[in-house]
Amino acid sequence: MRKIEQISQNAYHSAGFIGKYQQLVRDVVIPYQYSVLSDKAPDAEKSHVIANFINAGKALRGEDCGDGYYGMVFQDSDAAKWIEAAAYSLSCQPDAELEKTVDSLVELIAHAQDSDGYLDTAFTIKDSERRWANLLEGHELYCAGHMMEAACAYYLATGKRRLLEVMQKNAEHIYRRFVTEKTEGYPGHPEVELALMKMYHVTHDPHCLELAEHFINCRGQDPDYYIKEKERRDWTVWGNNPVDHDYQQCGAPVREQSDAVGHAVRAVYLYTGMAELAAETDDQELFDACRRLWNSIVQRRMYITGGIGSTAIGEAFTADYDLPGDTAYAETCASIGLMFFARGMLANEVNGEYADVMERAFYNTVLAGMQLDGKRFFYVNPLEVVPGISGVTPTRWHDLTQRPKWYACACCPPNTARLISSIGQYAYGESGDTVFCHLYAAGEVRFANGMSLNCRTEYPYGYEISYDVSGNGRLAVRIPEWSGKFSLSVNGSAVTAVPEKGYIYLSVSDGDSVKIVLDGTPRFMYASPRVPALSGMTALCRGPLVYCFEGVDNSGDVLSLSVDPDSLPRPCGFDSGLLGGSEKIAVSAFRTSDDMPLYSDSAPTQTPCEAYAVPYYTWANRGENQMRVWMSRIR
């Protein structure tokens, strides 16, 4: 069933817009985040991640473990994601100092591993007798999964096996407990499933594949497992409700699930593991379940920005069409997980819909999760903020108007860094003699089949994409659903092609030049009338970018604006000095007077005006502002 293999992490060397972001991660984000993990970043939330590994090593040696453990129970995963981001960066641009820093952290991690293979600083330092007793909340398998991913990435980038061997030993420890010894249970927070698939592809250890399959297959077979687990212990981490089957995605075996429910990050991490396993084992029943869950998300439970998880209560999915913008949760990690899921689906089926969603999530919610300077981060990504209300009132406490430097629960910042650093694995793929371009990513990419491409484009602000081809084979390029028309030429001659499930397929030869021109016309978007929060509203998009209206561009106030969707939006021209290089769009609008009481029986006056929008990913970079994605329309 596997249709597309992802490229190796060191096969893509970026340029253009993507290259700028990867350079930012390399030069600013990775060093800054390491300073946070080392508790050396000024005015940032305390992390203690590296100190936890040092103290765990001391505890295993019977020494005084210093100041003990600090942080969330899953704090180890922040180090794992940082290592993964560093590995992807090293694969493209060697850096001896960075590699030395990673090596030193790997040694601390190795010395924090128990002799039986167990690795988790929270339990090693303070709760060693409670190992594996709280799968619901303990996050031991979650942390193991992230460290497995880091180990694979660092080995592939550098050839160094130290961390990979640590995690092979850890995987074997987990295998013994849950497969050999048949201990009941499955991860409270899915992640290890997709990580084990990566371990299998790197090490070819059949136990990794078997263990991934075990955790996926046993999930939901006993929906009450967590209830029974809680009855066996007299302690809790944070009081999770074991009865909430939806929150844990365990109300039914995974092959019987149809609706995306519960904690959004946990859900898409689980679905990614399912999709990867389905592709590897040619499991049609499992893929059919993935397809139902995919449709549940993208057809009924996804924001226009690619955000998912509409409520702060449980960071979760709610119900179909419940997509309020002003109280949106839309965690950055959830959109990153949605990209994982999309790539997993592409491994099963060549369908442009998956790459369309991957693109939507990346250029909007994922990039919005990081400030343009790489030093501040959003955990939550609302589609509307109002200073004085957002981040203040009980219903909107989570929707902040500015990005913090760090978080006590800091899953999103390093997740963003590793995603941006590895974007080539999402942009390109291959199968036999065919190479796939899922996303338009400038730069050079080499494929295992001998072909290579040089992609030249100003995307997402330019809509002409050129590929210089080396080698012979087939080129498959996605034509995005948003581009109502496109033109195609090969070696300067126009070619007519009809997309097949979103992709055009071309036979190409060494030296060929392929050019695609997409439709970059700005467009108004409308929501289904079944979305109650968006009745009478419209949003503005251009290419893959969702736009938003900020007060700084609109006399300080966007709440009083109503746009005219019958007038054509007017691009203002790319401005290299605006928000790191971006483009405003002007639209015709009316401003409602605000000199009225709370309620009035007199219609307010409206004055024609121009309103200006900027790409959503750039918002909250110019001080505290009102911001809206969905705007009232005059008709």
Active site residues: 315, 411
Which amino acid is located at 278 in the chain? A
- Per the CB < 8 A criterion, the answer to whether 266 and 248 are in contact is yes
Residue 209 φ then ψ, to 5°: -65, -45
> Cβ(16)–Cβ(458) under 8 Å?
yes
Instruction: Name the nearest CA neighbour of 519 among 481, 492, 467.
Output: 481
Cα–Cα distance measured from residue 3 to residue 413, given in angstroms and rounded to the nearest whole number: 32
Phi, psi of 303 (to 5 degrees): -75, 160
Q: Is the dihedral of CA 553, 555, 556, 557 positive or negative?
A: negative
Q: Yes or no: say if 168 and 175 are a contact pair by the CB < 8 Å rule.
A: no
Distances (CA, A) of 151 to 25, 168, 340, 574: 20, 9, 18, 41
Strands of the sheet containing 473-478, edge to edge, are 5-6, 428-431, 434-437, 473-478, 503-508
Q: Which amino acid is at 89?
A: S
Spatial distance between the Cα atoms of 405 and 413, rounded to a whole number of angstroms: 9
Structure tokens at 296: 């549940």
Amino acid (one-letter) located at 432: G
Residues paired with 96 in a beta bridge = none
Handedness of CA 36, 309, 226, 281 (dihedral sign): negative
Q: Return phi, psi of residue 123, to 5°.
A: -85, -30
The answer to whether 402 touches 376, Cβ cutoff 8 Å, is: yes
Residue 144 — left, alpha, or beta (φ > 0 → left; ψ -120 to 50 → alpha)? alpha
What is the distance between the alpha carbons of residues 285 and 290, in angstroms, rounded to a whole number? Answer: 9
Max intra-chain CA distance, the chain:
77
Please, which contacts does 21-25 make with residues 24 or more away whose CB atoms are closer than 8 Å? 21/367, 21/420, 21/423, 22/89, 22/92, 22/420, 22/421, 22/423, 24/374, 25/85, 25/89, 25/374, 25/417, 25/420, 25/421
CB contact set of 435 (below 8 Å; sequence gap of 6+): 428, 429, 447, 449, 451, 453, 473, 474, 475, 476
The neighbouring-strand residues paired with 308 are: 302
Question: DSSP 3-state assignment of 292?
Answer: helix
CA 514 to chain centre: 30
Evaluate the omega torsion of the peptide bond into residue 206 and state whether it is cis, within 30 degrees of 0.
no
Task: Annotate 372-405 with DSSP letters as a single string.
Answer: TTSS-B-SS--SEE-TTTTTTSTTSTT--SS--S
Q: Kindly report the backbone phi and psi dihedral angles of residue 531, in degrees, each rounded to the nearest multiple of 5, phi listed first.
A: -95, 100
**CA-CA distance, 499 to 495, in Å (whole number)?**
12
Going by the DSSP 8-state scheme, the letter that residue 129 receives in this structure is: G
Q: For tokens 């002799």, what's the residue?
A: 115
Looking up tokens 């800054």, which residue turns up? 32
